[in-house]
Amino acid sequence: MGHKQTDDAREETDNYQQDRFWNGPAGQLWVSSHEETERHTGPFGDVALLAAAPAPGERSLDVGCGCGTTTLALARSVGATGDVVGVDLSSIMLDRAMELAAAAKLTNVVFRRLDAQTAPLGRHVFDLVFSRFGVMFFADPTAAFTNLRASLRPSGRLAFACWQVPSANPWMALPSRAALQFFGLTAPPHDAPGPFSLADPDRLRRVLTDAGFNDIDITPEIRTLTLALGHSLDNWVHERLLMGLAGEIYANSSVEIQSRARQLLISSVEPYQVEDGLEMSGASWIVTARP
Ligand SMILES: C[S@@+](CC[C@H](N)C(=O)[O-])C[C@H]1O[C@@H](n2cnc3c(N)ncnc32)[C@H](O)[C@@H]1O
């Protein structure tokens, strides 16, 4: 197992903002709330893994692998005769991924810190390119998917989960919209790098087609998410604010402003309150394609 630091993503590339974001407080928060995040992203990832069907002996790439949960799942599926490379921009999250791989005593997995859009990934080396919510942050998605396709063997396949539109994902969209409103910011364009950049299935299909993929299948996966379990609502909205579009402004605001922002968010999610948390729907696409 190894963890090779590269400087590729440190330069002022198009994905520099993402690099800053995922290596900053949001990445730290992602690590500290890993178990809770797993509760709501896990089931979507399981469906994507089923669609990916990793088989013993295969080589897989896990794109935007974060803390490595799906990288380890892939490693178990491909077994000792296969292997998995988990790639991500975030050192903080990769460190956690390496700890988990070591604790699981998996020796067929390596992690690399790199920008999956621009870094050389090898040519025709993987049977499977997989991602759970790690492919929506590229400044140039067509270039990124072209790079990913080049890494696939001709007989290989792509499988990933990405989020549907904000209105189908109130658990992310409501806090984000309330924060933008509170801080007087304009929402970014719907196709800007971020969780919803591939939400429009026509755009998603076009990006993959332009990147050279065939046999593209886009299937909806919709679930009810139970959020803020075991958290105070105040703490949950605090985390959503830090991870959201206004995260940096919120983090640098006074305690009083932060508290007012949280109050606004709490009122925006009140209709979704249940006894032990919040119940909100989440909707993803499960995408498969061939190079
Ligand atoms: C929403 S998180 C998902 C993490 C993980 N796959 C999971 O399901 O828990 C998105 C991940 O994509 C990574 N990421 C964003 N842009 C990237 C890029 N250009 N190259 C590699 N990783 C990237 C981020 O650092 C982050 O870890």
Q: Which residues contact 146 (CB under 8 A, 6 or more apart)?
A: 210, 211, 212
CA distance 249 to 247: 6
Mutate to test the pocket of ligand 1, among 88, 151, 221 (most ligand atoms within 8 A of CB): 88
CATH topology of domain 3-172+188-225+284-290: Rossmann fold (3.40.50)
Q: Which residue has the higher pLDDT, 200 or 230?
A: 200
Q: How far apart are the first and last CA of the chain?
A: 28
Region 124-142: what's the mean pLDDT? Answer: 97
Ligand 1 atom with the smallest distance to the CA of 115 is: 20
Ligand 1 atom with the smallest distance to the CA of 119 is: 20
**Contact 15 CB / ligand 1 (< 6 Å):** yes
CA 2 to chain centre: 22
* 215-260 pLDDT tens trace: 999 999 999 998 887 778 888 889 888 888 888 899 899 999 999 9
- Report the predicted TM-score, pTM, of the whole model to 2 decimal places: 0.92
Give the H or E element holding residue 50.
helix 34-52
* 135-174 pLDDT tens trace: 999 999 999 999 999 999 999 999 999 999 999 999 888 8
Phi, psi of 60 (to 5 degrees): -125, 150
Q: Which residue has the higher pLDDT, 123 or 20?
A: 123
Residue of the CA atom closest to atom 10 of ligand 1: 134
Ligand 1 atom with the smallest distance to the CA of 138 is: 19
**Residue 216 near residue 205, CB atoms below 8 Å:** yes
Of residues 30, 46, 12, the one with CA closest to residue 243:
30
**Contact 48 CB / ligand 1 (< 6 Å):** no
* 15-72 pLDDT tens trace: 888 888 888 888 888 898 888 889 889 999 999 999 999 999 999 999 999 999 999 9
CA distance 176 to 233: 15
